[in-house]
Structure 1
């Protein structure tokens, strides 16, 4: 996908507003990968998954036993996040643009998305991208749904920051994403205001 095919929302963060008080998206930061008249797709970047990258490698029969102990600490600690409620058993890797596989899709000039086993194998062999985060599942919206949620004060939007996407410290990403806008969580209202 070249720049002319990208939407203004591609590569943006969605930050959940305080009015969103229950469900999957409470206090989430979502990285939007695709936005078009047909809908939108993104990944929650601040929710832990109860499995490790080593678990994924073993489950997929990519590596096991003694081979797992030989992996670098960087590979062992690759974050595996809950990307969203849709297709929660499917894996996706957001990564720096220094890795390009057959199915890699550029989201921005710096960040790409790959959803095939090739990237998992490359990472396990030390041939993967310099920076990566794995997600299981994704967040999706139908035509016009995301725009309606934004207009109803469900989400704040802002340009993304690569350091937040790839940072393994997920517990403070919500506050740090708000700080990109110069906002503290206490300053947000759950009421929508329209002029």
Structure 2
């Protein structure tokens, strides 16, 4: 999985520059920390209507691409909906399933508006609202909530 609501101090422009990809967007578009594993690896989340070599469909609306072609396409026309994340969160065999069964995770539908149109600082509350959870009723266990 990837985290989508933790922007980091790395711009998409600088990533494109380093990869010798033309970037036509502004210098204010930040990448996000997708998780602690392979932080040098980029994942481009985008609507599934665009497909590139190696694109993986998450569902019928959302896709993930790791190819340079995908970043090149968005670099040439950054007006499209996308989010670039660096790294991912990984689990051992059966770990995620156990954590879901234990109630450590809330699951909900994929919402492109939440992923691409909601500012990262507002995504957590918007996700809670989407699944019908009032954050005021959550117990603070002293851990970071993402």
Which residue in the other structure is 1:149 paired with?
Answer: 99
Q: Is the CA contact 1:46–1:81 (under 8 Å) kept in the aligned structure 2? A: yes
Q: Is the CA contact 1:83–1:137 (under 8 Å) kept in the aligned structure 2? A: yes
Which residue in the other structure is 1:62 paired with?
Answer: 21
Larger radius of gyration: 1
Where does the alignment leave 5 or more consecutive residues of structure 2 unmatched?
142-146
CA distance in 2, matches of 1:77, 1:168: 16
Alignment of 1:1-195 (within 5 A): 42-63=1-22, 71-73=24-26, 76-126=27-77, 130-167=80-117, 169-189=119-139
Structure with more of its chain in strand, by fraction: 1
Q: Deviation digits for residues 102-135 of structure 1, max 9, x if unmatched?
A: 1111111111110011111111112x78311111
Deviation, 1:43, is: 0.8
Structure with more of its chain in helix, by fraction: 2
Q: Is the CA contact 2:9–2:30 (under 8 Å) kept in the aligned structure 1? A: no
Runs of 4+ in structure 1 off by over 6 angstroms are: none
CA distance in 2, matches of 1:140, 1:147: 12
Give the TM-score normalised by structure 2: 0.86
Where does the alignment leave 5 or more consecutive residues of structure 1 unmatched?
1-41
Q: How many residues align?
A: 141
